[in-house]
Structure 1
């Protein structure tokens, strides 16, 4: 079993928060995490899943009675299947805020459902569980973000192996897929997984006629990771109307298969890109959808978008248990400089991260970071180029600009 670093934060939340919601795509380990909370004695109560037809029927028939029968401490799995429960949860929490503790898990973003967010405002704490981060697979918390935001700390040089990096990208972070012994077995798992999510989780959210079109749309999105999304282009290739495509991509986002990274734009005139980038939640899934494997080892250019998706998601996973607030963006100027990932704290201070699949770095690799620093002024704190070499390097035209091995992402 893998250790999830969100465990302690969830344990702390249960001390003073009546409802804890754990969201994440199907098979990311939400139920396993809940079982661990019970095993460790952090939570004591009954556990039910709404994937069970009889349990779901009881919850839909009489939401309040269903909850009362379960007791004051309960875990309800796959709660998106019965959004009718939320008003009854609100009623019970308002009657006994200190005595009740409810853990909810959802394979879809239930906070996007009508009236759900309002019903639990001020009563709920939300945690998101992505597929495993590399530091969770290795069982050692990463010090990457702490070093990034620290003024005095520096990234040490790290051993790096290109073939190993590609193997990490191909395996991804889904617990079941990571433990498969061969690529063929992993491919079988991903095939079944995609069918389960698209036919079950999305059907729970919307009764759509074009369910058979979603695999093709997801595949088209996968070919465009690392770039700003052009829905009109995907609509043309898929034969789906633009308005329908917007609905489909929103559903894919709601079941956490894709994630939009908004654009950071300064308070200045210029041809700044304002469209979001889209990344897939897992590079194992990305490799499966694009049919890429060993060929990535030989072609670093092709591997670039896979590495970018991997790094962006790895950092987003770490943000889930990092103490400081950092919001992810990307930065780009039309036909000009760009930065793959920009992290902004509550003080509007910026940390820029450029991602390169090369084993060496050049002065030109810092072009986007330097432009970002010019626009942000004193708000710019640090810029790094994550690359596949081994040395941490400075001297790129600024004391806060460094090249850092990508393996620093999972180093303690």
Structure 2
């Protein structure tokens, strides 16, 4: 893959769609080193506004603001174009950043467009009292998906349909399309190097190992202090090491607390901080009324599956990440409220993933390394979901595409993941 070529990101299809955002500020949040700055600069270049990029980590930008709170106005007007775009990067690290944005938007929203990029704090402040309510739309930029890598860059996918019959028809049509010739090589690199742009594009084993080692330290020791007063950073790093072999299983907070020699509530708080930093994410159990009860603990996965053990755990983590990203994207795009769950009963019947749309289960997914036989849980899912659902068993074998009764499919993992936004 050409490291100098810009790879368009699917979030651009919705974040810059005025039918969705109107003239609101566009906020793009996401993990460190996921490509937010590159996306912003590329957008400015397209709109002929390259000079209107302002990184608030730059002392000269902060001095310019202190001297004149409208410091961006003259450069924007001097371009003599309609609706120039202005980018404020890393402004969320500054004191009173919400007041700064509120003042800029209220003064210039009829003339200028604003793109604001940042990380964990965007999701954090949205949960608290917010002076920017009604002035922005928040979107998420996650690491690459397969459609971005192979250049199809989906604007949406079969999940946009929340009526079962339409969803089934959309999936049938999309899953049967021929795969691009580059798919096998792209998927091999995707699984091997992970979804983050730099290690994926370089595709060098030593670089990837070094990058992934350094990334954890950077996020924990630099970004964590931005959103938390956590002091015991060594134990948080240890927590991540303990989390790795627990991928695929409901996570016992009590066991982790015992190994770390901290309180149960402390472990819960640390996991939440790591989630806000986009290092990990949780998949809760599906909690509708089901006979034989449910396991109540959440499953936790890494956003980058390279931190999961090789083998079935890494495969499941990769599928989990792509489903989590798709649910977030479909919600951001306004198609509904998408949530990802798993199901496990007391008698150990299990379904790996359930996609729920507006409180209705729509898609049921099982992940298998090589098994070409449809799982009992998938075949008999109607016992838990009386209304029709799409059943998909994803297998780590190339060239698999089988249709079974009751809207059930057996599909190669790369074919399935290529359908997701």
Number of equivalenced pairs = 388
Deviation at residue 122 of structure 1 after TM alignment: 1.9
Deviation at residue 124 of structure 1 after TM alignment: 1.3
Q: Given the superposition, is the C-alpha separation of residues 314 and 232 from structure 1 closer, same or farther in structure 2, using an over 3 Å criterion?
A: same
Deviation at residue 257 of structure 1 after TM alignment: 0.6
Q: Given the superposition, is the C-alpha separation of residues 79 and 330 from structure 1 closer, same or farther in structure 2, using an over 3 Å criterion?
A: farther
Distance 2:113 2:202 in 1: 36
Paired residue for 1:151, among 155, 161, 168?
Answer: 168
Q: Given the superposition, is the C-alpha separation of residues 329 and 66 from structure 1 closer, same or farther in structure 2, using an over 3 Å criterion?
A: farther
TM-score, length basis structure 1? 0.83
CA RMSD of aligned residues (A): 3.1
Distance 1:85 1:48 in 2: 14
Structure-1 residue corresponding to 2:408: 401
Q: Given the superposition, is the C-alpha separation of residues 162 and 115 from structure 1 closer, same or farther in structure 2, using an over 3 Å criterion?
A: closer
Paired residue for 2:17, among 12, 15, 21?
Answer: 12
Structure-2 residue corresponding to 1:293: none
Q: Does the CA contact (< 8 Å) of 1:80 and 1:108 recur in 2?
A: no
Paired residue for 1:308, among 306, 316, 330?
Answer: 316
Distance 2:22 2:48 in 1: 13
Paired residue for 2:53, among 42, 47, 57?
Answer: 47
Secondary structure of the residue aligned to 1:394 is: strand
Deviation at residue 129 of structure 1 after TM alignment: 1.0
Structure-2 residue corresponding to 1:392: 401
Structure-2 residue corresponding to 1:352: 364
Q: Does the CA contact (< 8 Å) of 1:266 and 1:376 recur in 2?
A: no
Tell me whether 1:252 sits opposite 2:278 in the alignment. no
Structure number with greater CO (CA < 8 Å, separation at least 6) is 1
Tell me the alpha carbon deviations over residues 151-192 of structure 1, each in whole angstroms, 9 at most, x when there is no partner: 224233988999985653221111111123421111111222
Tell me the alpha carbon deviations over residues 252-290 of structure 1, each in whole angstroms, 9 at most, x when there is no partner: 111111111222222345411232211111123x15xx5
Q: Given the superposition, is the C-alpha separation of residues 54 and 261 from structure 1 closer, same or farther in structure 2, using an over 3 Å criterion?
A: farther
Secondary structure of the residue aligned to 2:389 is: strand
Secondary structure of the residue aligned to 1:48 is: strand
Distance 1:386 1:239 in 2: 39
Structure-2 residue corresponding to 1:218: 240
Tell me whether 1:369 sits opposite 2:375 in the alignment. no
Distance 1:272 1:146 in 2: 29
Q: How does 1:334-345 map to 2 (within 5 A)?
A: 334-345=346-357
Structure-2 residue corresponding to 1:237: 259
Structure-2 residue corresponding to 1:23: 29
Q: Which moved more, 1:13-22 or 1:129-138?
A: 13-22
Secondary structure of the residue aligned to 1:227 is: coil
Distance 2:304 2:186 in 1: 17
Tell me the alpha carbon deviations over residues 202-260 of structure 1, each in whole angstroms, 9 at most, x when there is no partner: 11112322122222111212222222222222222223332222222111111111111
Unaligned 5+ residue runs, structure 1? 291-295, 297-302
Distance 1:269 1:119 in 2: 46
Q: Which moved more, 1:318-327 or 1:189-198?
A: 318-327
Deviation at residue 311 of structure 1 after TM alignment: 0.9
Paired residue for 1:191, among 213, 223, 227?
Answer: 213
Tell me whether 1:36 sits opposite 2:47 in the alignment. no
Distance 2:68 2:368 in 1: 53
Distance 2:267 2:154 in 1: 38
Structure-1 residue corresponding to 2:250: 228
Q: Does the CA contact (< 8 Å) of 2:355 and 2:364 recur in 1?
A: yes
Distance 1:179 1:173 in 2: 9
Deviation at residue 47 of structure 1 after TM alignment: 1.7
Tell me whether 1:317 sits opposite 2:325 in the alignment. yes
Distance 1:346 1:260 in 2: 19
Q: Which moved more, 1:1-10 or 1:206-215?
A: 206-215
